[in-house]
A and B are shown apart, each in its own frame.
Chain A
Amino acid sequence: MQGIYLDNAATAPVNEDALQGMVEQMRIGGNASSLHAAGRRARMAVETGRERIARSVGADPAEVIFTSGGTEADNLAVKGMYWKRRENRPDRNRIFLSTVEHHAVKDAVLWLEAHQGARVEWLEVDSEGRVDPQDLEQRLGSGADDVAFVTVMTANNEVGTIQPVAELASACARAEVPFHTDAVQAFGAVPVDFSALGCASMAVSGHKIGAPMGIGALVARRDAPLAPVIHGGGQERDVRSGTIDSPAIVGFGIAAEQAHDRLDEESERIRRLRDRLVEGVQSRIPEAVLRGPTDLSPGSRLPGNAHFTFPGCEGDSLLFLLDMNGVLSSTGSACNAGVPRPSEVLLAMGVDEVTARGAQRFTVGAATTEADVDALLNALPTAYEQASKAGMADHAPVGPWS
């Protein structure tokens, strides 16, 4: 990755061993569904990968359904559960989700609302972006018979908030409602134990942990109610079709195994770097406001995540100036079809639109060094000063030319 890369939540640098394993498997070739020797060999690679991933998330290999990535896994969970749960019970059309879900979940749910008669129940978050399990418990307590499912992410991609998913999952279990969690950001960053969590399904992605892009998985209990979204040969447990991507799965397996084995050590190292970053930003720019949990411990916030709003400046100005200095960051919010808009996550946390425009996310990862963090801290004050001069030029009238 070129430059000072502080955007690991967007994608992580590829794991060298994963890359090698993947390239090797591409050379070996073979279709894992074929019955001959070449097929068996590819199948062996796939099942080894499946076992590695299962181990790294505390699941049984049979619970791992490979997909093209996190977004497809979320879509399979959201639509698949909605359809399956309503097969004999069309009245089950309520869906609970948090207001800070990733678009992969949120937009899939909104599509069901627009086209399939779903009734959406929002779970509000507090100013740190956290859902209240009591709120869910109460709302399910007053009647959950018509609920299709509940979904809340394990950790937020923008502000790093870790959600109380175990509590949410048990509230759902008591109400006998399936619970899905998008664990794309949490996987590889904090311990994830699928069986202990007690959720019906969980989405994970390869490229956030050093595997290639284009591979992910829906980890789903055997009894998870799922209807297929992609129809075809039924290669993956009859709910996901398409030729199995054995090279990507090999890479995914290696990256997952290494991330899991090094988790304690790595997350501590990453956390220290992130803390240095947060303290450094706060001491150099006292006006900067840390968004997301103020408790930086890994139970509360992703160890690699730092997110600030910088008053009086546009996030994209800051991004531009840092980029020009070789420091790669993010405004945090996913682009709405290419157009940078204020983050819906920050708005859901009660931040006003103008403040939200000053957002900047820095995410530390496996390849980040202390020198990277210091490079950001050196570049940031000047960038902030200059971005403040540019102000909200593209937003509100200021200055001599308006």
Chain B
Amino acid sequence: MRVLAAMSGGVDSAVAAARAVDAGHDVVGVHLALSRMPGTLRTGSRGCCTIEDSMDARRVCDKLGIPFYVWDFSDRFKEDVVDNFIDEYAQGRTPNPCMRCNEKIKFSALLEKAVALGFDAVCTGHYAKLVEDPDGNVELHRAADWAKDQSYVLGVLTHEQLKHSMFPLAETPTKAEVRAEAEERGFSIAKKPDSHDICFIPDGDTRGWLEERIDLEEGEIKDTSGEVLGTHRGARAFTVGQRKGLSIGRPASDGKPRFVLEIRPKTNEVVVGSKEMLAVDEIRGIRETWAGLPAPEAQRFDAGTDQPGATSESFDILAQVRAHADPVPAVAHLEIGNVDGEPSRELVVRLEEPLRGVAPGQTVVIYQGTRVLGQATINRAYSLSRPDIAGH
């Protein structure tokens, strides 16, 4: 196969590319330039996006004897990931820019360009597994190393995208093994630190970065009864579940810490409450996608009615709401619900045990066993037993 290896300059994508070469594929390495003004040298915890990182990727390709290119995706990245990140926060939501980048850049713009240029697949260093059934249908599964598993951030990929994807790190037992392999292969980056934080926020100060880009106005911090507890510097820079940065003068009556329960961008209010009040047991997601063939219940629902109120059969799933959260058992169904006054298709997930800190804008990825079924963007999350909390 002709394979395009997307190479950040990090260890994972380097080893993934090397394995694709070993497997006999015809591999070309591509580093995506995502910033118009990339830094020259790596600083802090980041492991991508600088000229030095691009050079690291280039040196790996030299070792592998494969061609290397830098492709400019900075316009798309700014539009689809960075601007979207700001917009989402401005609407009081909590986006996941890495998922957005997978959805819009790596497995969309890049994949599309790759296929048009004659490649069969895009190979990345994600820890996730692809399984193909005899009919050629592809399923996405968790990686062997659950600690590193990245199937969550790939949950947004569609069947068509998965068919053109390649994750050579799927079966690797641990990250340590990947580093050892990089060392053995003589890659200078074998000990390069893992990247974390958001790549376009160099110092990791998301709040400070957002405050420079979103118009923030002082507003009220309230409890669930509507009582004003204090003021904040701008509701839109907060995230549901956040504890730090709330400057409330007096302690809660029960003496326990308070958390952000809800952000109301329209009235610029932040609602706070106890940790217990963060708990939700039902999530409604919109714009669901299926990582492979949709669940049979969803397929049958598609063939049925689209009348408001219509629901699909229920199906058992595991729900995960953050990249490194534990999945919880749940029952899901599809429903033609009501989103902002419009009939809209929703993925309803009823959790068997409550979750805390679930914010609109986050993604709920649904699994069956190790298999990723699909995902939806969380629009509302609430406690069925506590109707006094308006719903996040």
Q: How large is the interface on B (under 10, 10 to 19, 20 to 34, 35 or more residues)?
A: 20 to 34
Nearest B residue to A316, CB-CB: B71
Report the Cα distance A402→B51, complex, angstroms. Answer: 28
Contact string against B for A residues 196-214, beta-carbon threshold 8 Å, 1 for contact and 0 otherwise? 0000000000000000000
Q: Which of B111-119, B180-188, B380-388 contacts A (4 or more CB under 8 A)?
A: B111-119
- Assembly CA distance A386 to B40 (angstroms): 33
A341 is an interface residue with CB less than 8 A from chain B? yes
With A390-B113, A393-B113 as known contacts, state yes or no: A401 contacts B38, CB within 8 Å: no
Contact present for A317 and B40 (CB under 8 Å)? no
A-B contact count (CB 8 A): 80
Tell me if A323 counts as interface (CB < 8 A to partner B).
Answer: yes
* Interfacial chain A residues near B75, Cβ < 8 Å: 394-395
**B76 lies within 8 A of A323 (CB):** no
Query: Which chain B residues lie closer than 8 Å to A390 at the CB level?
Result: 112-113, 116-117
Identify which of B72, B110, B161 contacts A340 (C-beta below 8 A).
Answer: B72
A393 and B109 contact, CB distance less than 8 A? yes
- Nearest to A387 among chain B residues (CB) is B117
User: A residues within 8 A CB of B33?
Assistant: 338-340
Q: Is the CB of A402 within 8 A of B109?
A: yes
Cα(A389)–Cα(B116), bound, Å: 6
Instruction: Please name the residue on chain A nearest to B76 by beta carbon.
Output: A394
Binary flags per residue of B1-43, CB closer than 8 Å to A gives 1, else 0 = 0000000000000000000000000001000010111101000
Shortest distance from the beta carbon of B126 to any chain A beta carbon, whole Å: 17
Closest to B113 in A: A393
- Contact status of A401 and B72, CB under 8 A, knowing A338-B33, A339-B38, A387-B117: no
Complex CA gap A387/B116 in Å reads 7
Q: Is the interface on chain A under 10, 10 to 19, 20 to 34, or 35 or more residues?
A: 20 to 34
Q: Does A400 contact B (CB under 8 A)?
A: yes
Q: Which residue of B lies closest to A391 (CB)?
A: B116
The answer to whether B117 touches A399, judged by C-beta atoms less than 8 angstroms apart, is no
Q: Give the one of B40, B74, B112, B160 with max A CB within 10 A.
A: B112
Bound CA span A316–B108, Å: 18
**Closest chain B residue to A338 by CB distance?**
B51
Partner pick for A316 among B35, B36, B69, CB 8 A cutoff? B69
Which chain B residues lie closer than 8 Å to A324 at the CB level? Answer: 67
A341:B72 contact, CB within 8 angstroms = yes
A114 contacts which chain B residues (CB < 8 A)? none
The answer, yes or no, to whether A321 is at the interface (CB within 8 Å) is: yes
Residue B236, interface by CB 8 Å: no
Known contacts A323-B67, A393-B112; decide if A386 and B54 are in contact (CB<8 Å).
no
CA distance A54 to B104 in the complex (A): 57
Q: Which of B99-131 contact A (CB under 8 A)?
A: 104, 107-113, 116-118
Alpha-carbon separation in the docked complex, A314 to B109 (Å): 13
What's the least CB distance linking B392 to chain A, in Å?
Answer: 30
Judging by beta carbons under 8 Å apart, are A394 and B110 in contact? Answer: yes
Are A339 and B116 in contact (CB-based, < 8 A)?
Answer: no
Q: How far is the CA of A393 from the CA of B70 in the complex (A)?
A: 15
Interface membership of chain A positions 362-402, coded 1 if the CB is closer than 8 angstroms to chain B and 0 otherwise: 00000000000000000000000011011101110011111
A-B contact pairs, 27 of them (CB 8 A): A320-B117, A321-B117, A335-B70, A337-B40, A337-B51, A338-B33, A339-B35, A339-B70, A339-B72, A340-B72, A341-B72, A386-B117, A389-B116, A390-B113, A390-B116, A390-B117, A393-B113, A394-B72, A394-B75, A394-B110, A395-B76, A399-B112, A400-B112, A400-B160, A401-B107, A401-B112, A402-B112
**A residues whose Cβ falls under 8 Å from a Cβ of B:** 314, 316-317, 320-321, 323-324, 335, 337-341, 386-387, 389-391, 393-395, 398-402
Q: 7 closest A-B pairs (Cβ-Cβ)? A: A390-B116, A393-B113, A339-B33, A389-B116, A401-B108, A393-B112, A394-B73
